[in-house]
Chains A and B, each alone.
Chain A
Amino acid sequence: MSGKTREYLGRPLKSQDFFEREPLGERSLSWCTFVFRVAIGGVLIYAGFLKAVAPAAEFAGAIEAYHLLPHAFVTPVAYGLPWMEMWVGTFLVMGFAIKLSAVLASGLFILFAAVIGSALARGIDLASCGCFGAETLSPRHTIFADLILIALSLFLVFARPRHSALSLDQWLH
């Protein structure tokens, strides 16, 4: 025995630390998922909020411009989708049901990218994608942003950290 005590952050490392202290990689992953959660959730809350505070007819008009949904579904989707975005976003920011919320978020972003992509492919001239209410963001920029958000959401789905920092899931565990 050399008698030399191993240290971590200036404190002698006890044998139990190997079991109780989270490895550094796990902690980084935990904070990484926190940042991703807030980024994805923030975008969803912002997008949903702008649409929800505007008259539903405005978003219905934006949906109609894609010529994808049967007319009967346009108004119900215009009423429901902003709330769906805000709820998934709130769950992600607060870290509640993270995996399910991340699956739903990635589903939403894949849907948005597919819808905008199909409009571009069909040559539909969209002044704005309707994603952020009155805010105008070009469809190409939106697809690019969607792809980044899909990647971040899928990371949350598949990274499987033991827990995510500052999350309700961790608190309720």
Chain B
Amino acid sequence: MINVVQVPNVVQVLNVVQILNAVRILNAVHKLALGSLHEILFYITVIRIWVALFLMMLPVIAVNAVKQTHWGPILATPKSRQTGDPHAPVTIVEYSDFQCPSCAKMQTTVHNLLQTYQGKIRVMYKYYPLIKIHKNAMAAAQAAECAADQNQFWPFEDQLFATQDAWKDLQNPTTSYLAIALPLKIDVARFQTCLNDPLKIPIIEHDAAEARDRQVTATPTFFVGDERLVGGVFATDGARAIEKELRK
């Protein structure tokens, strides 16, 4: 048997070369296309990350432009509205509303802290009646200021909070305030005249303006030194804040 090897002619060889070249070119184009696709996807991802970071920066810039970093000063409070040791190293300022349920609950904490840190803390009371939501808050503050005139602010304040549910919805709560004043060392006739004294309103509004200057938006708000404690946080963090101030 004779093996006949057919020698391909020139055309056949060229055809094979052309096919091989075509395959190589197709492969190269395919690789290039894939590479470009990956590159495009990569650049899109990078652009999206930059856009996300830019968008996240917008609120940061806006907030920093508006945010108040310094608050107004705490102004003097009459001695009648201060309790505890007048020379105590730690001062607690309370912005409170007599009709606010959280303020009433927080009185136990205030009394406990005054007991625990006897001689180390003094508490100043500031009026901040939230008149938009508490219709009798202003009248209660005025009654408390009348009690303060007769140095009976603290016992009157305790009773106001204790009987809050009884007077908060009344059309005219004056009778309730008189009932609170009767057992205390208060001259009721003077107290009654004082309840209608329009000069008491600016005193209360002065405290409320101070609260707004200090960006107080809720009651009760306490300042233990520089630290602000709002609502129930005072019950959990009050002692820690006092200790921190005492260590200074």
Contact digits for A94-123, partner B, Cβ 8 Å, 1 yes 0 no: 101100000000000000000000000000
Contacts of A74 in B (CB 8 A): 233
Question: Is A55 touching B59 in the complex (CB atoms < 8 A)?
Answer: no
Of B56, B133, B227, the contact of A90 (CB 8 Å cutoff): B56
The reply on A155 being an interface residue by CB < 8 A is no
Hey, which chain B residues are within 8 Å of A64, CB to CB?
Answer: 230-233, 236
Q: Is the CB of A133 within 8 A of B133?
A: no
Asked if B10 is at the interface of the complex by the 8 Å CB criterion, the answer is no
Q: Are A52 and B56 in contact (CB under 8 A)?
A: no
Provide the residues of chain B in CB contact with A165, threshold 8 Å: none
**Which residues of B lie under 8 Å from residue A172 when comparing CB positions?**
44, 47-48, 51
> What's the minimum C-beta distance from B32 to chain A, rounded to whole angstroms?
23
* B132 x A61 contact (CB < 8 A): no
Task: State the Cβ distance, B233 to closest chain A Cβ, in Å.
Answer: 5
A65-B231 in contact given A71-B236, A127-B130, A134-B218 (Cβ < 8 Å)? yes
The answer to whether B233 touches A49, judged by C-beta atoms less than 8 angstroms apart, is no
B60-119 contacts to A, CB under 8 A, are 62-63, 66-68, 100-102
Are A53 and B67 within 8 A (Cβ)? yes
Contact, CB under 8 Å: A127 / B48: no
Whether B215 contacts A58 by the Cβ 8 Å rule is yes
Taken residue by residue from 215 to 246, chain B's Cβ proximity to chain A (1 for < 8 Å, 0 otherwise) reads as 11110010000011111110010000000000
Q: Is the CB of A54 within 8 A of B217?
A: yes
Tally of contact residues, B, Cβ under 8 A: 34
Identify the closest chain A residue to B66 (Cβ).
Answer: A53
Q: Which residue of B lies closest to A57 (CB)?
A: B228
- Interface hub of A57, A67, A86, A90 (most chain B Cβ within 10 A): A57
Interface core residue of B55, B66, B217 (most chain A CB under 10 Å): B217
> Are A49 and B101 interface neighbours, CB within 8 A?
no
B1 at the interface (CB under 8 A from A): no
A125 to B, closest residue via Cβ: B101
B68 nearest in chain A by CB position:
A53
Please classify how large the interface on chain A is, using the bins under 10, 10 to 19, 20 to 34, 35 or more.
20 to 34
Q: Counting CB contacts under 8 A, is B52 at the interface?
A: yes
Q: Does A83 contact B (CB under 8 A)?
A: yes
Residues from chain A with Cβ under 8 Å of B227 in the complex: 57
Is B58 at the interface (CB under 8 A from chain A)? yes
Whole-angstrom distance between the alpha carbons of A117 and B216 in the complex? 26
- In the bound complex, CA of A62 to CA of B204 (Å): 24
Contact A52 B63 (CB under 8 A): yes
Verify A62–B231 contact, CB threshold 8 A.
yes
**Is A60 positioned at the interface, with any CB of B under 8 Å from its CB?**
yes
Nearest CB of B to A57, in Å: 4
| Contact (A61, B231) CB under 8 Å given A125-B101, A172-B47 | yes
Is B132's CB under 8 angstroms from A136's CB? yes
23 residue pairs of the A-B complex, CB under 8 angstroms, read: A49-B62, A53-B63, A53-B66, A55-B215, A57-B221, A57-B229, A58-B215, A58-B221, A58-B228, A62-B218, A62-B231, A64-B236, A65-B231, A74-B233, A87-B55, A87-B56, A94-B55, A96-B52, A97-B48, A127-B101, A133-B217, A134-B217, A136-B132
4 nearest A-B residue pairs (beta carbon): A61-B230, A134-B217, A61-B231, A86-B59
Query: Which residues of B are at the interface with A, using a C-beta cutoff of 8 A?
Result: 44, 47-48, 51-52, 55-56, 58-59, 62-63, 66-68, 100-102, 130, 132-134, 215-218, 221, 227-233, 236
